[in-house]
Structure formats: C-alpha cells, structure tokens
Amino acid sequence: MDEIGLGYDNLAQRFVNWAQSEADLRAAMIIGSRSREDHPADEWADLDIVIFTSTPQRYIGSVEWLDNIDPPWLTFIESTPDGGWERRALFAPGLDVDFAIIPAQYLDSLLNTTLPPMWVDIFRRGARILLDKDGAVAQLMQKPSPDAPLFQIPTETEFLNLVNDFWYHTVWTAKHLRRGELWWAKSGCDDRLKSLLRQVLEWHAHALKGPAYDTWMRGRFLEEWADPRALNELPAIFAHYDRQDIARATQRTMDLFRWLAIVVSQKWGFAYPTMGDQSATRLVEQILNDMD
C-alpha cells in the first residue's frame, strides 16, 4: 500500500480507537473511493466517513472532538446535496477527510423501509464498516436492493422545466454581460448554465444507453460516460474573465445544450420548446451584437 493510503488507514484506525468509547457514536463506515473496487482510490482521493450519532450537533457545532483523532490543519462545515451536514477536515501531511454526520435513529428508519436510491447507490459501489456497536449497519448492508434502475427517466414536465430554465438564464447571462457585470455573467455562463448542461448530458447518455447506464453523480467521471461529440465541445464552452469570451462561451454552450436536449426529447417522446429556444436565442444574439 502507498504511503498516502497508509496515512488514511492510520487516521481511520485512530478514529475507531477513540469512537469505541464514545456512547453517542452508534456506527461509522467508509464510503467512496477508499471502499470501492470500481474506480478505487488513487493518491489524490480523500477519505469519506459516515458517522451515525445520537448527538449530531456535537460534531457539527464543535471541532474539539477532532483532536482525539489528530489535530487538524483546518476544518469547516458544509451542507450535503440531500440536506444534511458534513464536517470536512485537512490533517497533516495533507489528508482530507469528509465526516458525514447522520442522526443515529436514521439507521432504524432505513432498516424498516425500502432503501432509498441514494443508499442503494452507496452500498452497490462499496462501503466498509468501521464501527457497528449494535450490528445495525451490517443488517442494513444485507438488505435486498430494489430491482429498478437507480436512474429514473424524468417526466416531460421535469424535462421542459429544466430546458426552459436554461433558455431563461441565457438571456439573464447576456443582460448582465451587456451591463458590464462580468462576475455575474461568467457565473451565469459557467455555473448556472453548466449545471443545467450537466443534467442534460446525463439524460442524453441515458436516452441513448438506457436507464441502467452508469453516469455516476454530479459529473463524476463524465469524461468516461458522456457522448464523444459533447466531450469534444467542452474545451470551447468555458469562458475567460473577458466580455467577448463570455459572450462566445455562452453561445457555444447554447449550441451544445440545444443539440443534446433535442436528442433527448426525440428519444423519450417529449415536446421541445422550440419557440422559447428561438426567442431566447434571438434576444441573446441581439444583446450581444449591440455590445459590440
């Protein structure tokens, strides 16, 4: 095992040694790349530890408990996509750890219901138990998973909402660029529009490859699963902090999004908002041409 991997293993063991005597800690497990065989950890991978505790605020609202593992260089709290919280910490000599903090009683609810898609995905990719004082996590990992694919095809309403959101924000971006607000315009181009584009990239992959096709999450390994033509376009759709380049990147993003979204609509039999696309495109072109 490499030196970095040993460092993470030692850090995890120090956590276990301390956690075993903490009455509020019910269970903990490693998820992510340091627990899976498909796309396993490399030297740059972090360590993801899920903590089930009866006192989540102790781990969210304070930092002293980290000293029992190793005094961190820095630490902060971050919200998670499912509405929870995690404490992130950087330890010497550069070991970064994400501690996801979950109320202990949530384990019981998981044991008594069908596993939600998020947890099905976690377990199928790989998880390793660190601490399991009452065997609840072991039981959870043995629960049968739903047979349905993890990906669910969106409804036509969901599809149209996202596409209309995209075209609305092309105009929003162009207006802020025309006003000279480069920070907001670049954020519109390379944050809002790219987030919506990433979703359509996933839909496009599933429309062509089927619901069981693995697109991971939030763009992970996108270079492996996205359409080759789309990948070839990606270098041209991000902007420098420059008025002309933001304009160029916005229009290239629009072209790529349109192609992907139309393919998705055709494959799934959805309507496509052609009038909205054309109207927004004309307005963006007018705004950007006037800027010249």
Under 8 Å between Cβ of 19 and 28: yes
Query: Do 132 and 27 touch, CB atoms closer than 8 A?
Result: yes
pLDDT top residue among 154 and 34: 154
The pLDDT value recorded for residue 4 is: 61
pLDDT on residue 3: 59
Q: What is the mean predicted confidence (pLDDT) over 247-254?
A: 98
pLDDT for residue 133 is more than 80: yes
289 closest CA partner among 244, 240, 224: 244
Q: If you count them, how many residues does the chain have?
A: 292
Q: What is the mean pLDDT of the chain?
A: 93
The sign of the CA dihedral 64, 68, 69, 73 is positive
Please check whether residue 102 is in contact with residue 52, taking contact to mean a CB–CB distance below 8 angstroms: yes
The per-residue pLDDT for 148 is 63
Q: Among 123-137, 138-152, 174-188, name the one with the lowest average pLDDT.
A: 138-152
User: Is 114 a residue whose pLDDT tops 90?
Assistant: no
pLDDT winner (highest mean) among 4-8, 42-46, 92-96: 92-96
21-24: Cβ within 8 A, 24+ apart: 24/53, 24/54, 24/55, 24/58, 24/104
Could you tell me if 205 and 227 are in contact, meaning their C-beta atoms sit under 8 angstroms apart? yes
- Measured CA distances, 190 to 40, 89, 246 (Å): 29, 28, 9
* Residue range 156-291 in CATH 1.20.120.330: yes
pLDDT band at 32 (very low <50, low <70, confident <90, very high): confident
- Give the pLDDT mean for 203-227: 94
pLDDT at 96 over 70: yes
pLDDT value at 1 more than 60: no
Looking at residue 28, its pLDDT comes to: 97
How much is the pLDDT for 207? 97
Reading the block at residue 71, the tokens are 């005094």
What does the pLDDT look like over 149-160, one tens digit per residue?
A: 778 899 999 999
Helices (H), the chain: 3-19, 56-61, 105-111, 117-125, 136-142, 156-179, 182-187, 193-209, 222-225, 228-233, 243-268, 274-291
Residues 281 and 169: beta-carbon distance below 8 Å:
no
Are 187 and 127 contacting, i.e. CB atoms less than 8 angstroms apart?
no
The pLDDT of residue 290 is: 73
> For the domain bounded by 3-142, which CATH number is listed?
3.30.460.10
Averaged pLDDT, 33-55: 88
Cis previous bond, 93, omega within 30: yes
Average pLDDT of 205-210?
96
Report the C-alpha gap between 282 and 279 in whole angstroms.
5
Structure tokens at 100: 């996801």
Is 264:159 a contact under the CB 8 Å cutoff?
A: yes
Q: Where are the domains of the chain?
A: 3-142, 156-291
| Gap between the Cα atoms of 147 and 218, Å rounded | 23
Q: What mean pLDDT is predicted for residues 93-104? A: 95
Residues 6+ apart with CB under 8 A from 73: 90, 91, 92
Q: Quick check: helix, strand or coil at residue 70? A: coil
Give the model's pLDDT for residue 122: 86
